Structure 1
Amino acid sequence: MHPLVDCLVNRNQTIDVLMQAPHCPTDEISKLILEIQKLHEALSKLDSDLMKRKLSSLILRSNALNLKESPSIDLTIIFLMNLSDLYSLQVDGENVFKILNNALSFITDKVHPSVRAQLIFTIEFYRIQYRDGFESSKNELCKLQKKIKFKTALDKAIYIGIFKLLASEAYLREDGVHSLFIKLSKAIKNKNSLLKIKFFDCVARGDLDLSQKLLDQIPASDIDLPVQEHKVFLNFQKNNWNSSSWGIGFQTGRKPWLQHFVLLHEGKPTQALKIIKSLVGGKIVSYSEIQKNLLFAELANGHIESSLFLLKKYLIFNAGHYFNAFYQMYFELINNNYSMARRYYEDVSKACVKYKSEGKLDFYLNLAPNISPSDIRKMQRTPYITNLKSNKNIFETSNNTEESKDVIIGSSEATKTIGEEIKKYADINVPILILGETGVGKDIVARNLHNLSKRSKEKFLAINCGAINDSLLQSELFGHVSGAFTGAEKDRVGVFEAAGKGTVFLDEFGEITPQLQIALLRTLENREVRPVGATETRSINCHILLATNANLQEMVDQKKFRKDLLFRINKLIIQISPLRDRTKDILDLVKHYFAIEREDQKSPRLSQKLEEAFINYPWPGNIRELKNEIEIARVLNSEKSKYDVDDFKKLFKIKKETVVESDQSLEGTEVPVLNQAEADLKRALELRKSRSKGEQRIARIKSLLDSLGKVYRVDLVDILQVTPKTVTSDLKKLIQEGYISRIEPTSAPCTHYFVINKIKE
């Protein structure tokens, strides 16, 4: 076993101890893992600019690595998990999952079970932050707990990490979770870790007395950043808003949104909402991480339309949490529906008694600036009337929304042609190939092919071939028998069999390996599968749809895709054009996504400039990008009734108009003071922009120095694409700052280079 893998899996050593040990590995991958770990330890001590520089440097070096030269598969997976952490610090969810999917592709039977478990935990952790909310990941985490064997130090660390997550969201008292925690308490002897888990749980539930007792038992040396952040929230609940007595401020924590609680307490809901939106808009935190805080802030401002939009999304991602009824009650109160508010108030009150979370309910009721004691009394006096139309559960996703997920939107000829092809091909029982760039809606076309076929009442099973490694994908597709490989404890039916008479959709199937291409070809030709480890084949009766964004003919020419498989699937093809080639669809899609979940089902007004900007933008991410941008705009603008191009500044990268100096003399010409002021401002902005380019250039030089240790002037000229004079000027500035020194090995200028002195931390 590689020494670093051995340290992380089997030993409970700190990074400092490992780096000083004689067996500390020196390969480049190990060095980067250790540096990333050190960066995490130093996060609270670094200013934002220095942290960004270090992040950029580490990512640059990481992406330059050749993982094929890795001395260990386990080490490769550990490295990729650490790299995903770097992208998460940049709030770059897309790259987080690209890296983790890459890590999944390395999973084989040879991977250590603890490393495999750590990867699953990491994926679920980031699903909570960036995608699905807590509820679905909670179920996966509980499954993972049952599989962990408790044989290694890493197993125990994963187990503790899972319970810290569950405790922070007040899930620890749920029946199934609590019984698992009792087992953990007996199996793990680390008293301080158990104290932290219990402390997180008590703070999340609002049990103030027990929270303080547990906090007092945690040794000062063991009070890390998560404990400090929970300590801040404990002070909020104790009505202690004097930050000087906390021992930690917002600035040193990883949760800058904590400050909005203070503003809500001070009766400033508008400023609180502004802070939350700035954090989401500036990508300082992810939308999923801050979702419930944004929802509470919208409710506190009495924004009915935007609160309903956010609440429906929140309930989808967090279905089943006992505290959900509080947000439903809050919405009904600001909507003056006291009858329904009473129903939800009774639900959340009973749940909080069951889970010993009355303190949490009291805190949020007191924090809400637009819920008064008289509102609560009126709500409690109002009878809850059953079978009343006004009591319809408006939080259920509307039929309009559910249906819209599978509707093909657009009035262009290309989109109309796709609709006609779907109707024509739906009942033809041969494989259908769907081609198009990422984000064009290949999955929606596949779903429509199923819905319009005679198989529509049967199962529709989709699988992303690009997100699963070879051995796991083989089992997912064809199934396996008990004992076929390590971990195959019982028979498993593959997706082709499980679909029955329904439809199987293989997305990104161009990513599958040549070995699987052979197996898939046999399945398509013979309509049968052979599970892994089985000796006999089994017949299948499903319709198979395949989609890819790859150029399959080019892959055939490069010997990456089998020619006979391409011939087999090349019979019925639906080609989806990129959004930039069907501009007539763009405004149809924009208005569609703006209208979803609005009470009147109508899109807000869009300015002409905004419509033109939407049409002229190239949409490299296609429909997926458009949908995400509109969703964020709705969140950040509280569902306002009119949108302008300024609401999408970052997307369209709007630049100030450049001021061009005229050759004509202005002497004797009177310029109105207001116009002159505007001209001065424009010129100042232009100069600032020019100055910022120089700052960006110097930042790039610093990043290269951080990564390489030394740089040559001639290399910088080529990399930065500027003149030698400009590079010389930048280097002189850095020398004057004391940031770098010039080294002259010989008198020849071509041998001169520049080295970094020291970064002041």
Structure 2
Amino acid sequence: MKHNKNTVIENWLINPIDTNLYEKSSDHSSRIITIMSKVNDLRLNHTDNQEEILIEIRNEIDHFLQCNEPIELNIFALFLIKWASSLIHNAHLIEANKIFIRFDQIDKKKLLPEIIANHYVIFGLYHSAMGNKLKYEDFLIKSLQIKNLKKIHTEMIFNGYSIFLSSHGRLNEKLKKKILKSKSISKDSPFYLFGLFAEFINLVNCMDITNAIEKRNECFRHPDFDKNPFRKNFMAHNPHYQMYIDLWHNRTNLSSNRPTISSYKNEIDYIYLSTICLLENKPKESLLWARKAIQEFPFILITNNLNSYLLLRAELANKNAKTVIYLLNQKKDLGNAHYIDDFFYARAYLLLNDNVKAAQFFAKLQDQLHYYNAQNRLLFELDLSTEILKSQLHLLYYQSNKTDLKQLDEPFSKDKKNKTKKSLKNIGVQRLKGQSYEISNIQRQIIQYSKFQLPILITGETGVGKEEVARALHEESDRKNKPFIAINCGAISDTLLQTEFFGHKAGAFTGANKDYKGVFESAENGTLFLDEIGEISPLLQVSLLRVLESGEIRQIGMAKTKPYHCNVILATNKDLVKMTADKSFRKDLLFRINQFELKIPALRDRKEDILFLANYFFKITNEDGELPIFSKELVQALESYDWPGNVRELKHEIEKMKLLNSNLNSFSLENFSLIKSEEQSLNSPVNLYQKAKKEESSNNSDSIIFNNDLVQDEKSPLRRIQKLKFLFDEHITLTRNEIIKTLNISSGTATSDLKKLCTSKYIEKICPSASPRSHYFKKLS
């Protein structure tokens, strides 16, 4: 790579989308630039061992920040932005948020306007990843209002905003047109073609298919199309848009040629099948495929394009009005509302025989469709609305022209009031739901321990509800009206965690422009909850021990200590006693924090709570509060299942069961997704383990390990280890990621099982280099 005389910042200002930005700059060999290059690669190139690479980079960043080397402020700010962006793309949102807090310490007056604008974009992206598209848009607009941006940066952000609007079918908005006038893009800019892409996407989302095809052809005819940096992204998404173009053209003349079940590979196949079934007036089949899509690709629900309405369409076609209103309310509360939502509200209220409210929503919709030139979108949606009769549609049009929009209530106001009433009951020990002796005992201990002004340690497996117990302790104490601050120690790098704990003085390190209060100080006279305390580094363990012993903290960059006044609650899912034996956790720190320990039992150890909790979780998501009916077989399955994710897993399973079976109030074993039915197993892609199992079964029909009746989807540790041994028998060498994907287990479970096999000398770990991505496991002879 030929290097130029410009620094990374100078090259980034000239061309922010240059893929060789870091390598060709004059300062490419500096430590911070080398790390930024790795961070950029992590975001752009997804690999099987993404997590291992991320840990490796995080450790490198930690070490670099601890050295406190002098760094030019704009370089440091750009580094924080790139690292946050990479964390967001890898779904590490808690840590990304801490990076933004670090960024906020920087004196913005000393930063380039392009850096500030880029920060707004990435911070908006963080909110988008959390499901809040409204906040994402706010930050995109804020970034465009920054003055004196270089033209290419203005074009980049402007086109990002254009794509955002076009994916919502909103490119015609006055605000966008106003910006377009003041920030026109020249035809020789790489972003000009990007603008054409945005127009094409908008036309598809508005179902203006004739003009969409012409706009796409205009893109293809562009002389720079093949070498444009955005071509790859456009071509990757083109099949989605082509599907809707085909559906529009063929909605009255459907082809019977469809792929076989084994060829369904991605969300497009499921979306296509569900939509085709609606066009053929097969609502039950449509709902089946829609639910399969949501199960396999849950991210569909938090987008805001044509795909995101897949489940709503199928639910309404099956007359599940209350479920649709519930989903739409959640969508709106999340900050993800869309003008087409009013059509789905109107359909739902028609089903509930509330013609007045249906007409009000439909009237509001008519205005929006005209404004966005999206009348064809309504025609498309009507073709998929199998439950609406022509007479109802006629009445809806008639009443909507006479309705008063001012009378339209917020559809979710009643739901919010109910939530408030329910939340008032969940204070203190009432947060802990159950009827077992174990829960009663925990509640009794909470009331007893809440009187103490000493550290309290909460232990238990992942998902048992340790934070709920911590909040209950706080709410039962005299500190209940003071702050409660929770921090996940396992989700934040060591250097950031030190700042988060103790705060810093202005000038303590690069970018520390002002004083920052740590959580020990911010909690004031309230409660500080430190979750995953077993994850903190040995260095931080020393600092924490000193703080707990002395009752004082020392901010980074400050010589003097100051007292803190909060009570500290700590939690872990680790065996700290074992960790002290391994010398990975300090024995003196353990003695300091475990004077008062609350051990939360696993859900499988209090089986009498399982059905109680299942009913409770179902009831709180049900508008009428009606309890479900579970078959005897389902109850047995729920109570015999191991629940490795504990209460959290049960809650998610009940929510999923309700979402995927919204037309039911009686549930049987086939509705329990954690126990696959024979039909589901046959329809699933054959993975490495299943293939191996079939081959072994054909060679040895008497094999007890792979007898389907005995171990089909068995979750016990014994069967899991047997399956893992079989994999090594078949393949000799395996990576950790291959095992996780093949056996469908968590990374923690894989690590634990692999350690057992290494200890028993069944396998050995091979480390060709220091990099975790090169590590694998090999069966010993």
Alpha-carbon shift at residue 592 of structure 1 (Å): 1.3
How many residue pairs end up in the alignment? Answer: 610
Distance 1:105 1:320, change over 3 A: farther
Distance 1:720 1:464, change over 3 A: closer
Could you say what secondary structure the match of 1:398 adopts?
helix
Q: Could you tell me how far apart the structure 1 residues matched to 2:534 and 2:273 are? A: 47
Alpha-carbon shift at residue 531 of structure 1 (Å): 3.6
1:119 is matched with 86
Q: Which amino acid aligns with 1:218?
A: C
Q: Could you tell me how far apart the structure 2 residues matched to 1:123 and 1:145 are? A: 24
Residue of 350, 372, 387 corresponding to 1:370: 387
Q: Could you tell me how far apart the structure 2 residues matched to 1:517 and 1:2 are? A: 46
1:734 is matched with none
Maintained 8 Å contact 1:291/1:314: no
Q: Could you tell me how far apart the structure 1 residues matched to 2:408 and 2:466 are? A: 42
1:295 is matched with 312
Alpha-carbon shift at residue 570 of structure 1 (Å): 1.7
Residue of 487, 496, 504 corresponding to 1:472: 496
Q: Could you tell me how far apart the structure 1 residues matched to 2:179 and 2:484 are? A: 34
Residue of 294, 298, 306 corresponding to 2:323: 306
Q: Could you tell me how far apart the structure 2 residues matched to 1:130 and 1:654 are? A: 36
The answer to whether residue 484 in structure 2 is matched with residue 460 in structure 1 is: yes
Q: How does 1:389-408 map to 2 (within 5 A)?
A: 393-396=413-416, 398-399=418-419, 402=423, 407-408=431-432
The answer to whether residue 304 in structure 2 is matched with residue 260 in structure 1 is: no
Distance 1:391 1:533, change over 3 A: closer
| Mean CA deviation greater in 629-638 or 519-528 | 519-528
Alpha-carbon shift at residue 433 of structure 1 (Å): 1.4
Deviations 1:654-680 (A, max 9, x none): 679xxxxxxxxxxxxxxxxxxxxxxxx
1:138 is matched with 136
Could you say what secondary structure the match of 1:603 adopts?
coil
Q: Which amino acid aligns with 2:529?
A: F
Residue of 415, 423, 436 corresponding to 1:412: 436
Maintained 8 Å contact 2:532/2:571: yes
What do you get for the CA RMSD once the two structures are aligned?
5.1
Q: Could you tell me how far apart the structure 2 residues matched to 1:718 and 1:389 are? A: 61
Q: Could you tell me how far apart the structure 2 residues matched to 1:346 and 1:136 are? A: 23
State, as a whole percentage, how many aligned pairs show the same letter.
Answer: 30
Alpha-carbon shift at residue 544 of structure 1 (Å): 2.4
Alpha-carbon shift at residue 577 of structure 1 (Å): 0.8
1:630 is matched with 654
Alpha-carbon shift at residue 169 of structure 1 (Å): 3.6
Alpha-carbon shift at residue 510 of structure 1 (Å): 1.6
Residue of 239, 263, 271 corresponding to 2:285: 271
Q: Which amino acid aligns with 2:235?
A: D
2:243 is matched with 232
Q: Which amino acid aligns with 1:435?
A: T
Maintained 8 Å contact 2:363/2:405: no
Could you say what secondary structure the match of 2:674 adopts?
helix
Q: Could you tell me how far apart the structure 2 residues matched to 1:474 and 1:424 are? A: 32
Maintained 8 Å contact 2:504/2:555: yes
Maintained 8 Å contact 2:359/2:397: no
1:328 is matched with 345
1:669 is matched with none
Distance 1:582 1:137, change over 3 A: farther
Maintained 8 Å contact 2:127/2:136: no
The answer to whether residue 578 in structure 2 is matched with residue 554 in structure 1 is: yes
Q: Which amino acid aligns with 1:456?
A: K
Deviations 1:141-183 (A, max 9, x none): 7499689999999999899678645642447677998888889
Distance 1:426 1:351, change over 3 A: farther
Maintained 8 Å contact 1:423/1:452: yes
1:610 is matched with 634
Alpha-carbon shift at residue 331 of structure 1 (Å): 1.9
2:201 is matched with 200
Deviations 1:220-262 (A, max 9, x none): 6445131342243355567766689xxx999797622144333
Q: Could you tell me how far apart the structure 2 residues matched to 1:529 and 1:181 are? A: 52
Residue of 567, 589, 592 corresponding to 1:565: 589
Deviations 1:101-151 (A, max 9, x none): 886565445894564154044146999999843437736974996899999
Distance 1:129 1:114, change over 3 A: closer
Q: Which amino acid aligns with 2:294?
A: V
1:59 is matched with none
Maintained 8 Å contact 1:470/1:512: yes
Q: Could you tell me how far apart the structure 2 residues matched to 1:306 and 1:328 are? A: 11
Distance 1:86 1:557, change over 3 A: closer
Q: Which amino acid aligns with 1:333?
A: L
Q: Which amino acid aligns with 2:199?
A: K
Q: Could you tell me how far apart the structure 2 residues matched to 1:199 and 1:134 are? A: 24
Q: Could you tell me how far apart the structure 1 residues matched to 2:127 and 2:669 are? A: 29
Which runs of 5 or more residues in structure 1 are unaligned?
16-20, 24-70, 88-95, 657-686, 698-715, 725-761
Distance 1:284 1:390, change over 3 A: closer
Q: How does 1:145-224 map to 2 (within 5 A)?
A: 164=163, 167-170=166-169, 189-206=190-207, 211-219=212-220, 221=226, 222=231, 224=235
Distance 1:382 1:579, change over 3 A: farther
| Mean CA deviation greater in 576-585 or 280-289 | 280-289
| Mean CA deviation greater in 293-302 or 489-498 | 489-498
Q: Could you tell me how far apart the structure 2 residues matched to 1:491 and 1:170 are? A: 44
Could you say what secondary structure the match of 2:634 adopts?
helix
Which runs of 5 or more residues in structure 2 are unaligned?
25-32, 66-75, 94-124, 680-690, 702-723, 733-781
Alpha-carbon shift at residue 416 of structure 1 (Å): 0.7
Q: Which amino acid aligns with 1:271?
A: E
Alpha-carbon shift at residue 346 of structure 1 (Å): 4.1
Alpha-carbon shift at residue 578 of structure 1 (Å): 0.8
Q: Could you tell me how far apart the structure 2 residues matched to 1:416 and 1:131 are? A: 39
Alpha-carbon shift at residue 640 of structure 1 (Å): 0.7
Q: TM-score, normalised by structure 1?
A: 0.66
| Mean CA deviation greater in 462-471 or 178-187 | 178-187
Could you say what secondary structure the match of 1:615 adopts?
helix
Alpha-carbon shift at residue 441 of structure 1 (Å): 0.8
Q: Could you tell me how far apart the structure 2 residues matched to 1:385 and 1:185 are? A: 37
Deviations 1:681-725 (A, max 9, x none): xxxxxx99855845999xxxxxxxxxxxxxxxxxx998554799x
Q: Could you tell me how far apart the structure 2 residues matched to 1:141 and 1:205 are? A: 25
Deviations 1:458-517 (A, max 9, x none): 333222111111122223333334444444454433333333333322211221112222
Q: Which amino acid aligns with 1:138?
A: Y
1:37 is matched with none
Deviations 1:67-120 (A, max 9, x none): xxxx96556656655786659xxxxxxxx8898688656544589456415404
Q: Could you tell me how far apart the structure 2 residues matched to 1:578 and 1:345 are? A: 49
Maintained 8 Å contact 1:128/1:288: no
Q: Which amino acid aligns with 1:626?
A: L
Maintained 8 Å contact 1:200/1:230: yes
Distance 1:450 1:395, change over 3 A: same
Q: Could you tell me how far apart the structure 1 residues matched to 2:457 and 2:138 are? A: 32
Maintained 8 Å contact 1:465/1:473: yes
| Mean CA deviation greater in 489-498 or 203-212 | 203-212
